[in-house]
Amino acid sequence: MRIDMADVRVRTRTRRADPAAAARPRDRVAYLDGIRGIAVLLVLMYHAWAFHLPVPLRFGGGYIGVDVFFVLSGYVITSVLIHRDRDRPTLQRYTRFIGARFHRLYPALVAMLVAVVVVVWAGWRPDADQSPGHVTAWAGIAVVQLTSFVLAAHTGTPNLVGPTWTLSIEWTFYALWPFALWLCLRARRPWLPVGGLAVAVYAISFLIPAHVWWVLPPGRIAQILVGATFAVWMAGPGASAAMSLAARRGAAVLGFAGLAFILMWSLRVTYGPAYYTYRQTGAPLVTLSAVAMLRGGVRSTLVSRALAWRPLAAVGRASYSLYLIQYPWMYAFGGLSGATRSWGNFALAMTGVAVSTYVSYRFFERPYLRRSSQSRAIPKPAAA
């Protein structure tokens, strides 16, 4: 496979002595941050709605924010693997990749887990189920990336670190994908085996009972592989060719249509992710809508500018910290049952989320992003 690197820019630091310059979010793809912002805000509003906080709109389908995250993860991670250290031996490439992922994800994760455990041991209890021993056990499960599997075995058991199930799925993907991608790239049209693998894994996922499908790896890894398919296709020699005006307009229409469908599902759908109809129709449609947004961002200046709206992109830059932190605050000021809580509870929850997200991003995420950028080269598709 020939990789056209004409449009690939490598992250560099030109002013090592200037900490303020290093602190700026350089060389980020703004429209990708915008997609992250949309995804994490959908999850935030869904949890606020699920915990009976008075959200302005009904976000009963906002759980699909994690679907968007999975597709985006497949696209970004695969792009990194393709465009970085292509000539190194596979084992060395693998160890570098795993080390970079650990360095990127664990500081904020461990900080959140330690904070939650300390607060619970200090006496805070959102409900009777969240004993110190219970919370500590779940924190340990999250550290070793087994939340997905344990949560599937104990469905209906509430815990303060439940959203870490998505990290379990991500790490399952990280462990397997570098070698599988290396094999796929040997093909003449590598996007075909990657896409075929996505379809095969999705078909296998139907062997999983519907009520735990949403939290176990097969169906979610299929979504990640769809994003990976798009990344491999974009790395091909013809993907960077100039597009006609009609093609750019088509990409814009598809991009906005994908965004509209995701927002519609979030606001109009009232049943949860465990239902059979979701994995049969909802998950594929949301996955394709996320790819449509990605393609719109790559091929349409109009879509990329809309997604790169500064407030939205700013939320997206801190989306990992926000995702980790929001659930305990929703749990603290909301409730699993009962009447809708007050607007005061909503304000306190959102204030806690905002402050905690800033602290986590500032001290446990951004410093490691800067350090990791020294060994990473991320492709930046130019908007047509």
DSSP for 100-147, written as a single string:
HHHHHHHHHHHHHHHHHHHHHHTT--SSTT--HHHHHHHHHHHHTT-H
| Over residues 329-355, mean pLDDT | 89
Inside any domain, residue 6: no
Inside any domain, residue 3: no
Q: What is the pLDDT of residue 336?
A: 72
Q: What is the pLDDT of residues 179-201, one digit of tens each?
A: 899 899 889 999 999 999 999 99
Q: What is the pLDDT of residue 39?
A: 98
Q: Is 276 helix (H, G, I), strand (E, B) or coil?
A: helix
Inside any domain, residue 306: yes
Confidence of residue 375 (pLDDT cuts 50, 70, 90): very low
- Domain holding 134, by residue range, is 19-375
Inside any domain, residue 381: no
Inside any domain, residue 289: yes
Q: What is the pLDDT of residue 241?
A: 62
Q: What pTM did the predictor assign?
A: 0.89
Question: The tokens of 362 are what?
Answer: 């500032």
Has residue 93 got a pLDDT over 90? no
Confidence of residue 377 (pLDDT cuts 50, 70, 90): very low
In order of 78, 177, 232, 255, 286, the CA distances from 194 in angstroms are 11, 10, 8, 22, 19
Contact by Cβ (8 Å): 297, 31: yes
Q: What is the pLDDT of residue 156?
A: 65
Most confident of 18-22, 118-122, 264-268: 118-122
Has residue 366 got a pLDDT over 70? yes
Inside any domain, residue 352: yes
Contact by Cβ (8 Å): 32, 304: no
Question: The tokens of 251 are what?
Answer: 């990409």
Compute the distance between CA of residue 4 and CA of residue 7 in angstroms, rounded to an integer: 8
Q: What is the pLDDT of residues 1-54, one digit of tens each?
A: 444 444 333 333 333 433 333 334 445 789 999 999 999 999 999 999 989 899
Using alpha carbons, select from 279, 226, 297, 254 the residue that is nearest to residue 77.
Answer: 226
Contact by Cβ (8 Å): 291, 227: yes
Q: What is the pLDDT of residue 1?
A: 44
Contact by Cβ (8 Å): 32, 76: yes
How many of the other CB atoms lie within 10 Å of CB of 31?
28
| Over residues 229-239, mean pLDDT | 85
Confidence of residue 235 (pLDDT cuts 50, 70, 90): confident
| Over residues 267-287, mean pLDDT | 80
Using alpha carbons, select from 373, 316, 350, 324 the residue that is nearest to residue 106.
Answer: 324
101-105, 190-194, 377-381: segment of lowest average pLDDT: 377-381
Q: What is the pLDDT of residue 9?
A: 37
Considering the chain, what is the average pLDDT of its residues?
85
Q: What is the pLDDT of residues 150-159, one digit of tens each?
A: 999 886 667 8
Inside any domain, residue 13: no
Structural domain total, the chain: 1
Q: What is the pLDDT of residue 14?
A: 38
Compute the distance between CA of residue 61 and CA of residue 132 in angstroms, rounded to an integer: 32
Q: Residue 219 belongs to what H/E stretch?
A: helix 217-234
Inside any domain, residue 116: yes
- Tokens 């790239």, residue? 185
Compute the distance between CA of residue 243 and CA of residue 237 in angstroms, rounded to an integer: 14
Has residue 204 got a pLDDT over 80? yes
How many of the other CB atoms lie within 10 Å of CB of 10?
14
